[in-house]
């Protein structure tokens, strides 16, 4: 049995991106064609399917690092801001993009919010059994290519 941890991340995200077409809730909003992915970027992404690719990548990161919150995920997609003659500075990625994709993954049933046992504090997003089986199924296809 092949796990999503056993295959290269780039191959897994590319194959998972193709599977994201089957989920009707994971789709870019109207404003996604004009938006930058963070303050460290100069232009919007040039790929047409960048939203689905980011959603696939976030699903993998939630599976590996979960429970994880919006701010921590935004930091993972951040970068270095060029500040001219001043020293460069690390900045986070767009929290709005991160939040919207997390909401879409929740609606698709791939992730869910985890709270502490008392129920009074949110710990972050975790992957659901449906999301886990999707990741393992896609990893199995990558590990054993069809002839």
Q: What is the pLDDT of residue 146?
A: 58
Q: What is the pLDDT of residues 72-114, one digit of tens each?
A: 999 999 999 999 999 999 999 999 999 999 999 999 999 998 8
Q: What is the pLDDT of residue 143?
A: 77
Q: What is the pLDDT of residue 120?
A: 78
Sequence ranges of the domains in the chain? 9-143
- Quote the percentage of the chain above a pLDDT of 90: 56
pTM strictly above 0.85: yes
What is the four-CA torsion angle of 126, 130, 135, 137, rounded to 10 degrees? 160
Give me the CATH code for the 9-143 domain, please.
Answer: 1.10.10.10
Q: What is the pLDDT of residues 1-13, one digit of tens each?
A: 678 888 889 999 9
């Amino acid at each position: 049995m092949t796990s999503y941890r056993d295959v290269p991340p780039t191959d897994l995200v590319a194959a998972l991106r193709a599977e994201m077409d089957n989920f009707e809730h994971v789709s870019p909003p109207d404003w996604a064609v004009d938006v930058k992915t963070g303050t460290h970027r100069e232009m919007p992404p040039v790929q047409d399917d960048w939203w689905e690719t980011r959603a696939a990548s976030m699903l993998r990161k939630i599976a590996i690092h979960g429970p994880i919150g919006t701010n921590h995920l935004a930091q993972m997609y951040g970068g270095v801001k060029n500040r001219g003659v001043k020293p460069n500075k690390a900045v986070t990625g767009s929290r709005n993009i991160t939040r919207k994709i997390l909401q879409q993954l929740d609606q698709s049933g791939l992730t869910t919010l985890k709270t502490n046992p008392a129920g009074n504090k949110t710990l972050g997003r975790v992957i659901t059994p449906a999301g886990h089986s999707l990741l393992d199924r896609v990893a199995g296809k990558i590990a054993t290519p069809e002839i």
